[in-house]
Structure 1
Amino acid sequence: MKQIALLIFLILMLIAPAIAAETDGNVQVGEDELVAMVLAFLSGGSGAPDLAAVQDAAAAYRPAAGIVTDSSGRTHAINAAPSRIVVMNGETLETLRSLGVDPSIVIGIDKYSAERPSFFPEYAGTAVVGSIWSPDYEAIVSLRPDAVFLYATTSKDACDEIQKKLEDTIPGVQVFRFDCYHPGTYAPEIRALGTIFDRKAEAAAFAAFYTGTLDIIPARLSGVAEADRTRVYLENWKDYKTGSSGSGYEEKIRMAGGRNVFSALQTEYPEIDPEAVIGTGPDVIVKLIGAGSYDAGGYDNEDVGAIPGYYTGLTERSGWKALSAVKNGNVHLLHNDIFGGPEHFIGVVYMAKWCYPEVFADIDPAEIHRRYLTEYQRLAIDFSGDIFTYP
């Protein structure tokens, strides 16, 4: 349909007396908008544009600078970098900063990003538009964004509804769907965002840093048989809640070169019996902190004095003193700030080093973390007093 409409439009332009001589250089018309105008003109219905308006639109037409497919599978023509955006997930907001996207174009953010002023100081005065679970539609519409960013797979139904309402309400708005936390899709998402914001070189550099950091692990462990891989028990901030095959937890354990001791369980994120851990005899135990009853440390750096107590409580669980992981000092606390979200690769490197300390003796996860914050996040954060891992 688009090709036919454009062909008709070209014929129309040939027989028209003249095209508009001048246009405002700041006005650009994309393919979808131009085709819609041509079809409306040809229909001749009420409210259809006249020939002069169509000619002006043709003069302002700019071919797409790129084509991107977001993580929902939708393809978008990028005619120009968005200049007024609302970002409703902090993972995408963080990734945009890694690409050096000008924060002044961000005119609205989600409530959870707004609640992290120490990590997102540049957005202290930015409008807050609720969350994907409770969006403030009135606020979003009033901001007149040209692009809105939502999750692709997290709370998909809620984000689908937001997308539909915004596309029905805001003329010409582009709604992009990116997660920016899944290891399997993060590098392509980085590159797609680089195309959207005309930051391809920056995206290539950051993607190379991200993939290069992770690629070291399988390269060095290629000779380690599955049966010989380090056995890992990973527990989140809820006691005895872990992940099985297909879970994000297992994915990251495997990325670190480990073997999940609860891989065979049927439930993706099961709560296990305390005795089950003793029965599996893990070589390494990793406990996630940063939420629930273990909400300390990380970038917010709150109540770090409680963290040693978390560790002691873990190692002194009934029967755990007999575990090799406890006896050998291979029990670790890991903050979710560097295990979830865009920074998951940092936590994976920490786990790889805990699983294979001799193999990765020359790798410093804290230095990788520092590089990420200074070179890509461009943050002047002194996190020497923060706790992301313990001990």
Structure 2
Amino acid sequence: MKTQAVLLFLLFLITGGCQQQAESVSGPVTESSTITVTDLAGREVTLKQPIERIILMRSLGIYELAAVLGDEVEEKLAGWDSSLKTGDLDTYEKYIERYPRLEETTILGDILRDTVSAEAVLALKPDLVIMNTYMLNRGSKTVGRLEQAEVPMLFLKSEDPFRDPQQSIRLLGQVLGKAERANAAADWIDAELQQVFSKLKTIEGPVPTIYLEAGTRGSEKYGNTFGENQQGQTVNWGSVLAQLRCENIAAGSVSGLYGMGVIRPEFLLTADPDVIVITGAHWTAFPESLQLGYTADPARAARQLAAFTKRPGWSELTAVRQQRVHGIHTRFGSHIMSFAAAQQLAQWLYPEEFQDWNPKQRLQEFHQKFMPVEMSGTWMLSLDGD
């Protein structure tokens, strides 16, 4: 019996020691893993994994980040710029309501006004700073300082609203460990857009003319319309119109560094477009703007849209006489919900061919499938009330 007891005791020591050794080997790894990707500016970027602290240098890109991260956006967003709060207040308030902690998220200033300091960024200890390719030129000083400080940056794109947002969320999904979720959203958007483009290819006959204006300044002052930039490229809403079988009356008549400018009223009245579209959002600096978005009141938006038709000479325009004047959210020209712009504009341009389409319902479904906030408010409307 004594011999058996001794053997059992020795066996206990051996197995216990092995168990302790196995636990120490399978414990936390002290060295972080990394991932290397090519961003949408063509830069090779190596990032630590997992990414826990994110700075969104273009907070208007919250749509893409939220679609990829879902509820994790609240805990991982360490800082952002002021563009969402000043240029899309409805969306800012919607996310603050859903995620109250975001109201405490550090606002770093405006990179395009060169008010973002590298020191403030470094103080937040980010694992990733999400940038946009337009910042390479328009915010070059700040970008240069961040590069010198070796801040981990990833550049996304928004110039082509029908392709760049999907590329951006696929890339975000890759670096944030959310590839399956991001690819599902991108595939859904691509499928929605393909249906529009396929339908447009079957249409014959005259190509309708269109005038699109950013309703930033309200009806009293003309806002920017969209043509080509100095390189002859269409971006933002100019790119949207260039891909939808319509004739943008501003193409060739409005150009500039950023592909936008104010049209001459006389030119507009002479061109007499078939369709007029005013884009809206909630710009805090312009309370008179056409306000559309998550908290927009439909009755107020309808009054604001109707006010544009009271401009001098507009009562004689074909689009006004036929009530083909519409409003649509301005961010549809630069983020992942651009599919709704394609569907809605196609329906306004070709009401008979797209009469059975329901862009608002598709926008609702997108929110249910991929966005962490619920669909609400007013995003598109027409002078005739539809």
Coarse TM-score class (shorter-chain normalised): 0.7 to 0.9
Deviation for aligned residue 1:232 = 0.8
Equivalent residues in 2 for 1:217-236 (5 A)? 217-224=196-203, 228-236=206-214
State which of 335, 344, 353 in structure 2 corresponds to 1:350. 344
CA contact (8 A) 2:165 2:335 kept: no
Which residue in 1 is equivalent to 2:325?
331
- Partners in 2 of 1:193 and 1:295 — Cα distance? 33
- Partners in 2 of 1:210 and 1:72 — Cα distance? 22
Deviation for aligned residue 1:285 = 0.8
Do the aligned partners of residues 167 and 321 (structure 1) sit closer, same or farther apart at CA in structure 2, a change above 3 Å counting?
closer
State which of 147, 152, 156 in structure 2 corresponds to 1:178. 156
Deviation for aligned residue 1:110 = 1.9
- Partners in 2 of 1:119 and 1:181 — Cα distance? 25
- Partners in 2 of 1:185 and 1:382 — Cα distance? 25
Q: Deviations over 1:119-168 (max 9, x none)?
A: 3222122222223131144432222112111221146352x433443344
> TM-score scaled to structure 2, two decimals?
0.76
Which residue in 1 is equivalent to 2:381?
389
Do the aligned partners of residues 295 and 26 (structure 1) sit closer, same or farther apart at CA in structure 2, a change above 3 Å counting?
farther
The code of the aligned residue for 1:258 comes to C
Do the aligned partners of residues 289 and 113 (structure 1) sit closer, same or farther apart at CA in structure 2, a change above 3 Å counting?
closer
Deviation for aligned residue 1:80 = 2.2
The 3-state SS of whatever aligns with 2:225 is coil
Task: Name structure 1 gaps, 5 residues minimum.
Answer: 1-20, 30-61
Q: Deviations over 1:251-302 (max 9, x none)?
A: 1113333221232226242423222222212111111233446424323636
State which of 129, 138, 153 in structure 1 corresponds to 2:134. 153
Structure that is richer in strand per residue: 2
CA contact (8 A) 2:55 2:77 kept: yes
Do the aligned partners of residues 360 and 261 (structure 1) sit closer, same or farther apart at CA in structure 2, a change above 3 Å counting?
same
- Partners in 1 of 2:167 and 2:28 — Cα distance? 32
- Partners in 2 of 1:135 and 1:182 — Cα distance? 26
Equivalent residues in 2 for 1:1-391 (5 A)? 25-29=28-32, 62=33, 65=35, 67-78=36-47, 80-100=49-69, 102-103=72-73, 104-113=75-84, 116=89, 117-121=92-96, 122=99, 123-132=102-111, 133=113, 134-154=115-135, 156-158=137-139, 160-169=140-149, 173-180=151-158, 182-183=160-161, 184-224=163-203, 228-237=206-215, 238=217, 239=222, 241-245=224-228, 246-248=233-235, 249-265=237-253, 267=255, 268-290=259-281, 291=283, 292=286, 294-299=288-293, 301=295, 306-383=300-377, 386=378, 388-391=380-383
> TM-score scaled to structure 1, two decimals?
0.75
Structure number with the bigger relative contact order (C-alpha 8 A, sep ≥ 6) is 2
- Partners in 1 of 2:110 and 2:254 — Cα distance? 32
Task: Name structure 2 gaps, 5 residues minimum.
Answer: 1-23
Deviation for aligned residue 1:22 = 6.0
- Between the aligned residues of both structures, percent identity stands at 20
- Partners in 1 of 2:364 and 2:83 — Cα distance? 24
- Partners in 2 of 1:23 and 1:131 — Cα distance? 45
Deviation for aligned residue 1:92 = 3.3
Do the aligned partners of residues 138 and 244 (structure 1) sit closer, same or farther apart at CA in structure 2, a change above 3 Å counting?
closer
CA contact (8 A) 2:132 2:156 kept: yes
Do the aligned partners of residues 180 and 90 (structure 1) sit closer, same or farther apart at CA in structure 2, a change above 3 Å counting?
farther
CA contact (8 A) 2:225 2:254 kept: no
Name the Cα RMSD after superposition.
Answer: 2.9
CA contact (8 A) 1:325 1:331 kept: yes
- Partners in 1 of 2:261 and 2:43 — Cα distance? 33
Q: Deviations over 1:193-249 (max 9, x none)?
A: 111111111111111121112111210111335x72221111222516422243333
Do the aligned partners of residues 274 and 296 (structure 1) sit closer, same or farther apart at CA in structure 2, a change above 3 Å counting?
closer
Do the aligned partners of residues 233 and 296 (structure 1) sit closer, same or farther apart at CA in structure 2, a change above 3 Å counting?
closer
Do the aligned partners of residues 26 and 105 (structure 1) sit closer, same or farther apart at CA in structure 2, a change above 3 Å counting?
farther
- Partners in 1 of 2:133 and 2:272 — Cα distance? 37
- Partners in 2 of 1:266 and 1:125 — Cα distance? 41
Deviation for aligned residue 1:324 = 2.3
The code of the aligned residue for 1:188 comes to Q
Deviation for aligned residue 1:355 = 0.5
Deviation for aligned residue 1:327 = 2.1
- Aligned pair count reads 331
- Partners in 2 of 1:311 and 1:150 — Cα distance? 34
The code of the aligned residue for 2:149 comes to T
- Partners in 1 of 2:85 and 2:306 — Cα distance? 34
